[in-house]
Amino acid sequence: MYTDLKTYQQIIALLKKYNIKNCVLSAGSRNVPFVHSVEKDSFFNCYSVVDERSAGYFALGLAQERHEPVVISCTASTASCNYYPAVAEAFYQNVPIVILTSDRNPTMLGQREDQMINQVGMFDRHVRKSVNLPIIHDEDDEYYCERLINEALLELNHHGGGPVHINIPMKGYNNNFTVKELPKVKKIDRIDLESDEGIWNEKFKKLEDAKRIMVVCGQKDFVSDSLRNNIIEFFSKYNSVIIADHMSNLDFDKAINPVLGFDAKFINNKKMIELLPEIVISFGGQVFSGLKPELKKYYKNVEHWSIEPDGKVVDLFKSLKYIFECSEETFFKKANDYSKSKNNQDYYNLISNYVNGIKYPEFEFSHVYAIKNTVERIKENSILHLSINDSIRISNFFKIKNNINVSANIGTFGIDGPISTFIGHSVMSSKPAYLITGDLAFFYDMNALRLNSIRNNMHILLINNHGGSEFYYNGSYLDKYSDLHTTARHMTKAEGWVKSNNFKYISASTKEEFDSKIDEFINNKDQPILFEIFTEMSKDAKCINDFYNIEKPKDLKEKIISKSKNVVKKTLGQETAEKIAKKIGIIK
């Protein structure tokens, strides 16, 4: 029987997954849940050493002799401090020791709680990794706890290895041992260039047998010809689909942009399940699209492989299984060298037919109209910088020409700095350079227009819809007071400031005005230019949401039934409506 404390259940289960058997245990009230659980489990070899300082050194000797990790476990407060000398010694000798420090309720820190000190990160620079586990209340806490334990245990033998620290807070003493079976936990494996070739081949064989592989390309400022060609060859050999938005900068005509089709406001659960991959391979930086949260919903059905040159744990979809510590070029080349198979393109056709089947309406004058008719006109061999949210989202609805280098500050997704970053790009290039920005981001960073390094290749499309349309886009909570502060409504114009900084200034408030000036904006070369588009944020947000609701054929029947039910209920009452619904088969 095991402790009913879920954090320790996960620790014990993952120690087994990592085949870590030897435990040096120091008696104490707080670590009883762990000690009593492992001392009854024949998998573990347990050693009792009451003095924690001695226990640490004893574990050091065990680990050195066995050439494998050893666990040390103690109670809270000064007990944990006594580990420090041995931990430091293990760190400088690269000896793998798992330090488990039990802790009290974190809400009581500094409140004169008995036997409580700050144990979070207490071994500081003398451990390879330090994690503080959550007190588990729900499924998200369970996932987070499992990931943190994996992160720590993965560092025991990573790049020389050494000790790792896991701090385990709990609300109170726990002496209940009622759990018969440990939870099913996911072990994350790291595979690098020193791993046995047989391990690599085993994974590529799994890819070769897979029917649905989704390769998700995150943000990359530059994709080399070598990487691009290896991805294209991978696509030709494996049953895969390549997912890339504009910021992936992957020029491949069969790559599919997921920003519209996989947005939670657009795709329904039934369709998402129909399109799910078996294996998803990710590389690069941030993924902007709604694909990320959608895949997280179905993490139990998807296996995630992450290509991380530095080997870090990046669990984008809550389903991380393997980390490949190598360059993207290396991974895809090794996969291509292994396989002689051919992509049947069934999965590609499934995704492609869905995305390409989305019908676009004739957009009224709005930020969508302005951005669409700008990005589609930008010529090859240009630079395009996108500010945040709407600029990125809407630009990705539409196709752009090849050899346009696209960037955005989505490492942090902050509103600050888009103009400054864009100017940095433009001054280092002779290519035409374009920025698409909303008004809040523009006015936040407008001082950058004073920089004396500005060149004539700069083109700025400013969508001035008088505030934050993103709040209207997600605005079920908005009311008549929201424009006071929530949406930051304003009546500011950019014209005076722009002209004073020697920019050419043009503007449009109607579709006709925009159409008559867009070519001038795109082709201008004589001086930097700013095109200010005046729209209304509430109407702009409605334009996108209406667009999402146009193309939902799978939902049509459900909508009709739902509306019919509501009409019948209002007319005949709940009880009568249910009787009729049962008779005609709408409900059982």
Query: 275-285 as b/e, with b when 16 or more CB fall inside 10 Å?
Result: bebbbbbbbbe
Q: Contact 134/142 with Cβ under 8 angstroms?
A: no
Residue 266 vs residues 262, 284, 316, 358: alpha-carbon distances, Å: 7, 25, 21, 10
pLDDT at res. 562? 47
Whole-number Å distance between alpha carbons of 171 and 272 = 40
Question: Is residue 213 classed as helix, strand or coil in its secondary structure?
Answer: strand
pLDDT at res. 110? 87
Whole-number Å distance between alpha carbons of 258 and 396 = 8
- Strands (DSSP E) contained in 69-209 are 70-74, 97-103, 129-132, 164-169, 189-192
CA angle 30, 31, 32 (to 5 degrees): 95
Question: Is residue 458 classed as helix, strand or coil in its secondary structure?
Answer: strand
Closest CA relative to residue 460, chosen from 426, 495, 436? 436
CA angle 422, 423, 429 (to 5 degrees): 95
- Backbone angles phi and psi of 229, in degrees to 5: -65, -35
Residue 6 vs residues 212, 260, 350, 563: alpha-carbon distances, Å: 34, 39, 41, 45
Whole-number Å distance between alpha carbons of 351 and 239 = 12
Whole-number Å distance between alpha carbons of 374 and 230 = 32
Q: Contact 494/532 with Cβ under 8 angstroms?
A: yes
Residues 436, 437, 443, 448, CA torsion sign: negative
Q: Contact 411/286 with Cβ under 8 angstroms?
A: yes
As given in the structure block, the two tokens for residue 107 are 């809400």
Closest CA relative to residue 532, chosen from 552, 554, 517? 517
pLDDT at res. 559? 47
Closest CA relative to residue 553, chosen from 399, 354, 393, 396? 354
What is the DSSP track for 510-546?
SHHHHHHHHHHHHH--SS-EEEEEE--HHHHHHHHHH
Rounded to 10 degrees, the C-alpha dihedral 378/384/385/389 comes to 50
pLDDT at res. 522? 98
As a whole number of Å, the end-to-end CA separation of the chain is 44
How many CA atoms are closer than 13 Å to the CA of 195, on its beta-carbon side?
A: 20
The counts of H helices and E strands in the chain are 23, 18
What is the DSSP track for 367-425?
HHHHHHHHHTTPPSSEEEEE-STHHHHHHTTS---TTEEEEE-TTTT-SS-HHHHHHHH
How many CA atoms are closer than 13 Å to the CA of 96, on its beta-carbon side?
A: 20
Whole-number Å distance between alpha carbons of 461 and 529 = 9
- Which residues of the chain, if any, have pLDDT below 50? 553-562, 568, 584-588
As given in the structure block, the two tokens for residue 161 are 């290895």
Whole-number Å distance between alpha carbons of 325 and 106 = 35
Model confidence pLDDT, tens digit, residues 262-319: 998 899 999 999 999 999 999 999 998 789 999 999 999 999 999 999 999 999 999 9
As given in the structure block, the two tokens for residue 382 are 């240009």
- Strands (DSSP E) contained in 297-432 are 303-307, 320-325, 382-386, 404-408
Residue 579: its H or E element: helix 574-583
Q: Contact 283/322 with Cβ under 8 angstroms?
A: no
Whole-number Å distance between alpha carbons of 258 and 262 = 5
As given in the structure block, the two tokens for residue 139 are 């499924």
Whole-number Å distance between alpha carbons of 551 and 542 = 15
- Please classify residue 117 by burial: count the beta carbons closer than 10 Å to its beta carbon, then call 0-12 exposed, 13-18 middle and 19+ buried: middle
- Please classify residue 252 by burial: count the beta carbons closer than 10 Å to its beta carbon, then call 0-12 exposed, 13-18 middle and 19+ buried: middle
Whole-number Å distance between alpha carbons of 70 and 55 = 11
CA angle 231, 232, 233 (to 5 degrees): 90
Whole-number Å distance between alpha carbons of 517 and 527 = 16
Q: Which residues lie closer than 8 Å to 404 by C-beta, 6 or more apart? A: 246, 378, 380, 381, 382, 383, 384
Whole-number Å distance between alpha carbons of 359 and 361 = 7
What amino acid occupies position 186? Answer: K
pLDDT at res. 478? 87
Residues present in the chain in total: 588
Q: Which residues lie closer than 8 Å to 300 by C-beta, 6 or more apart? A: 319
